[in-house]
A and B are shown apart, each in its own frame.
Chain A
Amino acid sequence: MSLLSTGFVPSAQSSDDVFQFFAEEAQVTSASRIPMARKEAPATVYVVTSQDIKDSGAQTIWDALRGVPGVDVMQTRTNQGELSIRGLNKPLNNRTLILVNGRTELNTFFDFVTWESIPFTMQEIDRIEVVEGPASAVYGANAVNGVINIITKTPEQFQGGQASFVAGDYNTHIADYDYGRKLDKWAYRFGIGYRAMDRFENSDNLASRSGKFNVSTEYAPDADSKLSVSGGLTRLNTEVTSGSAGTFFNKGSEGFFETVYRNRGTKYRAYWNRYRTKLKNFTALNEGNLNSDIYYGEVEQSFSLPFGNEALIGGDVQRNSSRSTVLSKAQIQQLWALYLEDKWEISDRWSMLASGRLDGHPYTARTFSPRASLIFSPAQEHVFRLSAGTAFRNPTLLENNINTVLETPLNDPLLPFFTSVRTTTLGNRNLVSERIKTAELAHTGQFGRLTTRLAGFYYKLRKIIMSGPSETTGLVPPTMTMLTSYINSGSIEAWGGEFGLNMRLGSWASSYANYSYQRIKDLPGPRITSRQSPLNKVNAGLRAKHGGWTGDLQAGWVDRTYWIIGLNTTDMLPVKAYYLVNAHVGYGFKGRLTGLEAGISAFNLLNNSHYEVLPRISAAQPGQLGEIMHSRWTGTVSYRF
């Protein structure tokens, strides 16, 4: 520090001084109050905004994320997609944590998400944050290769209502109505939605139908505190593929109730997730039902420490209870976690973020997940980041506790007297968590109208949980009986990177292009997981707005992948590389009709019919039961009031 004399003469104010002044102010304000600008976050973060979703005409969350580098989108059925980050694709993916406003949407039994069960409409989404890389240090289990956090709009972002209706091919009907208001200290919002569509492969058959409802209220007695209470419910009947084990309809209801209280730097949060679903037509689990509840409580405190440190400390407890016909008895899991996060502003150009989380699970050892990031910003337009960390995935309830028998046809010339196999699958409580270690180097740069992003990563995933070898327990024709369970076996090593450009083309248009590369290697053993992820992906898009018109064109190319053809085999077949072009044109009316918008969207504009995961070959070779993707045109009318 220095003492200033009274005698200096101030110079004239220049625009550069002004920019420097605001830059300094923004840097300090951003570090202390506003959520970190994504280029200075501790991991590679992409944000897809509500405007991006609206302009692209995306009707599903996975379609909204197709253009994000590093995100692998795999549409498995007409209305179900799988999202994974930097490889590790599979149906019923459980290595990417899916959150809505920070609350998990993963089904406790399988740890996967049926997207249709989320009780919010697409127009209620404010933004989708995609965190790439392990994030267990902050979010806990399942954030193995990343987190997708869907943030919904606040009541004041509505300040009125919005109604929309979509109709199109394959009997697609979507109707949404949302309304919200802020009244001095109170605010409220509610949304209602209905979605239905038929299958690509057979337009006489239902693919998905759901009705959803949600409501939230907020009370802010002063600027420092806020109490939020929210809840939602979805009734759904949506077809999902589990991979080789078969497809099923996830039918039933899923809901939640949540309350959050914030006061200055303290946050208290509690929620209850409720699942009451039946796995209709799922012969692998004898059409079992899944009834589960998650009860969750969390306390978090942020505070300042000396030498430019901003820290956060917290803890949570979670109780999972599940009852199912595929479990021998009701299962209870008690989970807990303690976490600490610190951001240290070393200087104007350097900052460091470090976090660590300790998780407890009833059957696995305590897991500690650290992560550290060093961020260097030599100029306002450039940010370099070096990160390293670990993450984990606990065994699912199914993997720990399943007890079920599945009978499948057998057609093996070497076993002519056997026509079926009866497999008993038992859970394994001796499983340990899957663990991933990763390192990443990234750069974000701004060059006038051009923004560039470059990231390189390496990771190693160990103790992979998988179906173990089957043991023959009986050979009484015509049925062979076998026993199988789950084991920790094998590792995967991967390296790759993403490069992306975003360019403003004048005041009326913008464009983007990105390329992702991921080389994955199974160590040791058969090359299964490594070949399920595409080696290369390319995306590009153009968006233009003029007057009331909006046009959006997005194209992507995904490299080929390989998938096992059925249960109890390691034989694989390829899914060809494919390209996908999506487009949207919309018009916003003015004058008396201000608020009214109409648009047309085309999914798979060029009708390049393709599979994104291996389809069924025969009864004995079910593949991953992927569905063919055709073109689908929809028309949208919405009114905002």
Chain B
Amino acid sequence: MYKNAGVFHAFFFVLPILSGLCLTCPETGRAQDIVAVLSSEAEPYRQALEGLRESMGRPVPAVVLAKDVPDFDAAVKILVLFGARASLAKYPPRTARVYCMAPGISWSDANDRKTAAFVQMAPRPQVLLSKLKEIHPGLRKLAVFWTSWSIERYCESMREAAAGLGIKLLVSQVKAAENLPEELRGLPEIPDAIWLPPDPALVTPSNFVTLKEFSTANNIAFYAPTDGLVEKGALASVSIAFREMGRAAAKAAALLLEGKSPDNPIYPEKIGITLNMSAAKDIGFVFRKEMVSSADKVLP
């Protein structure tokens, strides 16, 4: 038998462990040209990161931002930034940025927009309004509230699309989140529906309750920016999954790696429709059968 059987056995014991470690390590034969930065470990950012990695088809290292910004080595060319905290931190000027899931930040906040991509949380306005019209064929007046200036710009881009679909937009600025009830009562006309945009200053539990109560009391449809809020009681949502935002960020990163400037803002292509049947019953709303059968999620 082998004189060094112990070494031989150790080799066969250690090898699988080393292989497993190597499989979980970032590829060592290729520089880390893309790094993801998460504002925190909150679930939405994690889901977006998964989408980014799935779409890239390779591991992408990620850091969770605390107070200190990590040093990135010279190989890092693209930073994919998830959330406002990550978006507003300071990074090496040589890196291109993909801003994602920071609805309160507009592309004007970037220092150099030519090497930056901005992935929107809301669908393309034309798509959003078309889908809302499919859900709600009688939709003629849609109230939209905003506080963040980035959302105001989105609302402006909705106007042209709305006009083409015969929808009148009632857009109101809410100076502070607690002013929403006053603005609701101050609407110049009674809308057919309210759409709550993904405005971080406005999407609060208190405002959600206010909108839900207003909607029920006045038999007005209440459309939310995410399917999670439909679970809470909104009538429906036309939204983009966090994972899909990560996928859109991956495409933008790939373009930037090729040296191309993305066509900002970037709207993820795949959208999801979620319906809430009991919320519909509360306001006497009836979804079309075709809509119920084609929706991505229907809540009882």
Contact = CB atoms under 8 A, between A and B. Distances in A.
A11 B228 CA distance: 13
A472 interface: no
B50 to A, nearest CB: 5
Interface in B30-46: 38-40, 42-46
B226 A18 contact: yes
B125 interface: no
Interface stretch (A28-36, A277-285, A426-434): A28-36
B108 A224 contact: yes
Given A2-B64, A17-B44, A594-B188, A29 B226 contact: no
Interface in B100-134: 101-106, 108-109
B298 interface: no
B103 A7 contact: no
A202 interface: no
A399 to B, nearest CB: 39
Contacts of A51: 179, 182-183, 186
Contacts of A222: 108
B108 A504 contact: no
B173 A20 contact: no
A15 B276 CA distance: 14
A32 B148 CA distance: 12
Contacts of B205: 19
Contacts of B103: 25
Contact of B228 (A17, A506, A507): A17
Nearest to A307: B67
B190 to A, nearest CB: 8
A26 B108 contact: no
Contacts of B45: 21
A interface, how many residues as a size bin?
A: 35 or more
Find the residue from B66, B105, B176, B177 having the highest chain A CB count within 10 A: B176
B232 to A, nearest CB: 4
B38 to A, nearest CB: 8
B185 interface: yes
B153 to A, nearest CB: 9
B226 A24 contact: no
Contact of A33 (B104, B213, B218, B243): B104
A28 B88 contact: yes
B73 interface: no
B46 A8 contact: yes
A304 interface: yes
B65 interface: yes
A49 interface: yes
A52 B188 CA distance: 16
A1 interface: yes
B292 interface: no
Contacts of B217: 506-508
A64 to B, nearest CB: 15
Nearest to B181: A504
A631 interface: no
Nearest to B206: A446
Contacts of B206: 381, 446, 448-449
B66 to A, nearest CB: 5
Interface in B65-112: 65-68, 70, 83-85, 88, 90, 101-106, 108-109
A10 B63 contact: no
A157 interface: yes
A90 to B, nearest CB: 33
Contacts of A504: 181, 210
A588 interface: yes
B158 interface: no
B45 to A, nearest CB: 8
A380 B218 CA distance: 29
A172 B40 CA distance: 59
Contacts of A1: 63-66, 68, 70
Interface string B156-176: 000000000000000001011
Given A18-B226, A24-B40, A49-B175, A308 B67 contact: yes
B229 A18 contact: yes
Interface stretch (B196-204, B256-264, B282-290): B196-204
A33 B173 contact: no
A34 B241 CA distance: 27
Nearest to B213: A507
Given A18-B228, A21-B42, A51-B186, A10 B62 contact: no
Q: Which of A29, A34, A47 has the most CB of B within 10 A?
A: A29
B231 to A, nearest CB: 5
A381 B176 CA distance: 14
A26 B24 contact: no
A448 B209 contact: yes
B144 to A, nearest CB: 15
Nearest to A54: B186
A22 B200 contact: yes
Contacts of A308: 67
Contacts of B108: 222-224
Contact of A4 (B49, B106, B243): B49
Interface string A288-316: 00000000000000001001100000000
B55 interface: no
Nearest to A597: B188
Contact of B84 (A3, A29, A49, A52): A29
Nearest to A308: B67
Given A29-B148, A510-B181, A10 B47 contact: yes
A37 B43 contact: no
Contact of B24 (A7, A38, A380): A7
B139 interface: no
A13 B242 contact: yes
* 8 closest Cβ pairs, A-B complex: A223-B108, A29-B104, A25-B200, A545-B185, A26-B200, A18-B228, A22-B203, A28-B84
16 contacts: A2-B63, A10-B43, A10-B46, A13-B226, A17-B42, A18-B44, A25-B101, A29-B201, A32-B88, A37-B176, A38-B176, A304-B90, A448-B206, A448-B209, A507-B210, A510-B181
Given A18-B203, A26-B177, A26-B200, 10 more contacts: A5-B24, A13-B47, A15-B228, A21-B43, A22-B204, A28-B104, A34-B148, A51-B179, A448-B206, A507-B217
Interface of A: 1-8, 10-11, 13-15, 17-26, 28-30, 32-34, 37-38, 47, 49, 51-52, 127, 157, 222-224, 304, 307-308, 380-381, 446, 448-449, 451, 504, 506-508, 510, 545, 550, 588, 590, 594-595
